[in-house]
């Protein structure tokens, strides 16, 4: 009887030991599986993040390659312009300048108010019999919208005083902005009638024709003709255009592992790629 009890006790002990070993084995396998799953998730996220970084870096390299090609194309176009017959025959401020100077004369890269005033006085308003009473440039540049319709009907009459005004249109439509800037100039010109020669009015009209033929584009936004005792006066407000230099700079883009994650202090899992464009 005692032997049977001892055998039962030994069997129970063996079962408990087996249960402990099985529990330990299952717990260890579960821990290893959990660590493996977390490691796989982290490895997957890291692979995806590195893929995003490599993708952005590839775009930057493509932009740089395209920039190099654009520079070569630009050089060829500049060489072609230097031998362009139309530019060669275009009047320039200094006849000794090369063909490319005609482009800068037509559309400068800055406002250069002093040069603009000198050009108007010495080139455009330089008509025999016409006197420049005043010329006032406004150094504050404005954006230009070429979709504006600035044509206005004009009426003249043979009265002692004749006035015609063209009003500028609204330029609030930012969708049509071109990158062009304009400097406004207010000028007052006078010309007198000469009995044996042309009238003062025709001389002032010649000023407007010279402005129309000028290599540099002007837009008259307001003008007024007046006549008093044989003297004609032309008061006008005009805009002279220029295009600022293109500023090329390198951009820096931050690549985030999780676009939806909120910043968590200074330690962020990000990398920077650099790219730039040449136009």
Per DSSP, the three-state class of 170 is coil
235 — pLDDT class (breaks 50, 70, 90): very high
Question: Any idea of the CA torsion for 17, 20, 25, 31, to the nearest 10 degrees?
Answer: -160
| 32-36, 98-102, 129-133: range with lowest mean pLDDT | 98-102
Note the residue count of the chain: 279
| 81-95, 98-112, 207-221: range with lowest mean pLDDT | 81-95
Per-residue pLDDT for 168 more than 80?
no
Per-residue pLDDT for 139 more than 80?
no
Residue 263 has a pLDDT of 57
90 — pLDDT class (breaks 50, 70, 90): confident
Taking the C-alpha atoms of residue 217 and residue 119, their distance in angstroms, rounded to an integer, is 13
Mean pLDDT over 216-221 rounds to 86
Q: Which residues pair with 143 in a beta bridge?
A: 181
Residue 37 has a pLDDT of 92
Taking the C-alpha atoms of residue 132 and residue 114, their distance in angstroms, rounded to an integer, is 16
Residue 65: phi and psi, rounded to 5, are -60, -40
| 26-35, 130-139, 195-204: range with lowest mean pLDDT | 195-204
* 229 dihedral zone (left: phi>0; alpha: psi -120 to 50; beta): left
Cβ burial 20-58 (10 Å sphere, 16+ → b, else e): eeeeeeeeeeeeeeeeeeeeeeeeeeeeebeeebeebbe
pTM of the model: 0.53
Question: 99-113, 196-210, 211-225 — which one is most confidently predicted on average?
Answer: 211-225
Q: What would the pLDDT profile of 52-79 be if each residue is shown by its tens digit?
A: 888 888 888 898 899 889 989 988 888 8
| C-alpha of 224 from chain center | 36
Return the higher-pLDDT residue of 99 and 237.
237
Q: Please state, rounded to an integer, the average pLDDT across all residues of the chain.
A: 76
The secondary element (H helix, E strand) that includes residue 188 is strand 177-192
212 — pLDDT class (breaks 50, 70, 90): confident
Q: Which residues pair with 254 in a beta bridge?
A: 272
* 261 dihedral zone (left: phi>0; alpha: psi -120 to 50; beta): beta
Residue 155 has a pLDDT of 33
Which CA distances in Å does 20 have to 9, 15, 27, 143, 279?
A: 17, 9, 10, 83, 74
């Amino acid at each position: 009887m005692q032997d049977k009890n001892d055998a039962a006790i030994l069997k129970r002990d063996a079962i408990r030991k087996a249960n402990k070993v099985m529990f330990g084995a299952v717990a260890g396998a579960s821990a290893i599986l959990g660590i493996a799953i977390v490691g796989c998730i982290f490895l997957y996220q890291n692979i995806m993040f590195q893929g995003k970084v490599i993708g952005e870096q590839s775009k930057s390299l493509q932009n740089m390659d395209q920039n190099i090609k654009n520079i070569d194309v630009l050089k060829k176009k500049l060489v072609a312009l230097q031998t362009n017959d139309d530019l060669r025959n275009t009047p320039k401020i200094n006849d000794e300048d090369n063909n490319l100077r005609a482009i800068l004369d037509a559309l400068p890269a800055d406002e250069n108010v002093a040069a603009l005033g000198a050009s108007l006085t010495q080139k455009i308003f330089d008509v025999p019999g016409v006197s420049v009473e005043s010329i006032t440039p406004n150094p504050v540049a404005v954006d230009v919208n070429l979709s504006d319709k600035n044509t206005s009907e004009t009426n003249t009459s043979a009265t002692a005083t004749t006035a015609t005004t063209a009003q500028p249109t609204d330029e609030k439509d930012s969708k049509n902005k071109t990158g062009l800037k304009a400097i406004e100039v207010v000028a007052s010109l006078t010309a007198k009638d000469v009995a044996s020669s042309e009238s003062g009015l025709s001389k002032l009209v010649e000023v407007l024709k010279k402005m129309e033929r000028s290599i540099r584009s002007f837009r008259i936004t307001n003008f007024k003709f007046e006549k008093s005792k044989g003297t004609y006066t032309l008061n006008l407000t005009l805009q002279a255009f220029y295009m600022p230099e293109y500023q090329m700079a390198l951009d820096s883009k931050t690549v985030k592992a999780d676009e939806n994650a909120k910043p968590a202090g200074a330690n962020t899992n990000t990398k920077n790629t650099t790219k730039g464009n040449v136009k």
